[in-house]
């Protein structure tokens, strides 16, 4: 019995670690288009700071420009449909291409979709994206899937 419990614990830990690594890969791929958006939108350093600290729960993410950057990056990666909402198929494909198992990718899409529904009344697309991002971040922390991102994000941001 103890042997099976140990195996279950190891598998659970590996699953958490794998999902953290998947989120690290997805975040890094998402941020690779940041430079284009930074120039197009003339974004300030406060946006880079928000994105650098994105996965820290205590970070407020209060800058509207950060939401605009998220919208811009999402559009460049074709993660939004014509109405500005998450394109489920493209988002699923993006997650899988970045290492997510099908079930994990489906869960991520469902989380974003749920967050979108909670904040759909916000008319300003940048502020809505910011609130959806905060909701998504909280959901991933609840699942223990949020990556320890400082190193990976720093690597991407130094390329910009």
Give tens-digit pLDDT for 111-139.
999 999 999 999 999 999 999 999 999 99
Mean pLDDT, the chain, whole residue set: 78
pLDDT of the residue at 6:
32
pLDDT at 72: 93
CA 66/CA 145 separation, integer angstroms: 22
User: What domains are there in the chain, each with its CATH number?
Assistant: 2-159 (1.10.238.20)
Higher-confidence residue of 13 and 157: namely 157
Residue/partner pairs of 110-119 with CB below 8 Å, 24 or more apart = 111/136, 111/139, 111/140, 112/86, 112/136, 113/86, 113/88, 114/139, 115/139, 116/85, 116/86
d(CA 84, CA 102): 24
Residue 8: is its pLDDT beyond 50?
no
């Amino acid at each position: 019995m103890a042997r099976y419990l140990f195996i279950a614990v190891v598998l659970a830990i590996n699953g958490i670690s794998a999902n953290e690594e998947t989120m690290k890969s997805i975040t890094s791929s998402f941020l690779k288009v940041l430079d284009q958006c930074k120039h197009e939108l003339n974004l300030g350093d406060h946006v880079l700071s928000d994105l650098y600290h994105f996965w820290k729960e205590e970070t407020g993410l209060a800058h509207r420009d950060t939401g605009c950057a998220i919208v811009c990056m999402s559009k460049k990666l074709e993660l939004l449909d014509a109405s500005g909402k998450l394109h489920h198929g493209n988002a699923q494909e993006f997650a899988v291409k970045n290492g997510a198992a099908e079930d994990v990718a489906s869960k991520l899409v469902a989380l974003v979709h749920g967050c979108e529904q909670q904040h759909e009344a916000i008319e300003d697309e940048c502020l809505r994206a910011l609130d959806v991002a905060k909701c998504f971040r909280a959901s991933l922390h609840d699942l223990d899937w949020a990556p320890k991102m400082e190193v990976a994000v720093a690597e991407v941001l130094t390329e910009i």
